């Protein structure tokens, strides 16, 4: 039986783990060794065990590279749909579950479009800063877009037929 490797890079931002070996990452009480690039390698069974649900599968050869802070990891491990969206396994015919990362609104919208197999994002509005990570759940991509852009500064134009989102500055 072949061992399927899933690559998961976890960047720890917790200063409370000062005694932990800097070349390892603790996940659910188990210590994983980082490679020279700071990446840990998980088998499919290890990945399923730490996501606790374990119902999804990966196509052999898919090796996603995800970089998460410890806080982001804690969020996605409680929502398997958000985790599998991160690794390109989202089902575009179902509701949206995604990890919203701190930083650029534009970057989060680009991930929303990409993870849910939409065609394009055109971003002409002001970029906003998202301060804390969260899990966004919505019925579909347009509803998720509206939830992300809860502001009077930018306005999304959504073409569901072409699967294109354009963000413009609000007048």
Tell me: do 23 and 95 sit in the same domain.
Answer: no
- Give dist(CA 166, CA 155) in Å, integer: 8
Please report, to the nearest 10 degrees, the dihedral formed by the alpha carbons of residues 165, 9, 94, 118 taken in order: 20
86 closest CA partner among 71, 65, 56: 65
Range of the domain at 140: 90-171
Most confident listed range (71-75, 127-131, 134-138): 134-138
Boundary (domain end) residue, out of 71, 89, 107: 89
- Joined together, the tokens standing for residue 160 give 């569901």
Q: What is the pLDDT of residues 45-71, one digit of tens each?
A: 666 666 554 444 444 444 456 777 888
- Rounded to two decimals, the pTM is 0.62
Find where tokens 């009480």 sit. Answer: 29
> Which of 143, 145, 141, 162 is closest to 154 using CA atoms?
145
CATH of the domain at 115: 3.55.50.10
Same domain, residue pair 171 and 107: yes
Q: Residue 40's closest CA among 21, 56, 19, 59?
A: 21
- Where on the phi/psi map is residue 163: left (φ > 0), alpha (ψ -120 to 50), or beta? left
Considering its fold, how many domains does the chain have in total? 2
Q: pLDDT band at residue 153, thresholds of 50, 70 and 90?
A: confident
pLDDT for 3 beyond 50: no
Q: Please tell me whether residues 31 and 95 are part of one structural domain.
A: no
Residues 3 and 82 in one domain: yes
Residue 24 has pLDDT above 70, yes or no: yes
Q: Across residues 123-136, what is the average pLDDT?
A: 89
Considering 64, 89, 114, which residue would you say is the last residue of a domain?
89
Q: What is the pLDDT of residues 81-118, one digit of tens each?
A: 888 788 777 766 678 999 999 999 999 999 999 888 89
Residues 53 and 80 sit within 8 Å (Cβ to Cβ)? yes
């Amino acid at each position: 039986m072949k061992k399927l490797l899933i690559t998961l890079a976890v960047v720890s931002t917790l200063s409370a783990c000062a005694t932990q070996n800097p070349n390892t990452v603790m996940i659910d009480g188990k210590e994983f060794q980082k490679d020279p690039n700071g990446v840990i390698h998980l088998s499919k069974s290890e990945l399923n065990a730490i996501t606790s649900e374990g119902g999804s599968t990966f196509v052999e050869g898919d090796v996603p590279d995800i970089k998460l802070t410890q806080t982001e990891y804690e969020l996605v491990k409680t929502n398997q749909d958000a985790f599998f969206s991160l690794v390109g396994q989202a089902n575009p015919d179902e509701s949206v579950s995604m990890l919203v990362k701190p930083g650029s609104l534009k970057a989060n919208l680009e991930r929303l479009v990409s993870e849910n197999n939409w065609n394009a994002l055109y971003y002409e509005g002001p970029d906003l800063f998202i301060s804390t990570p969260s899990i966004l759940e919505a019925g579909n991509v347009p509803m998720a877009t509206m939830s992300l852009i809860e502001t009077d500064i930018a306005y999304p134009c959504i073409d569901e037929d072409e699967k294109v989102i354009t963000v413009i500055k609000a007048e």
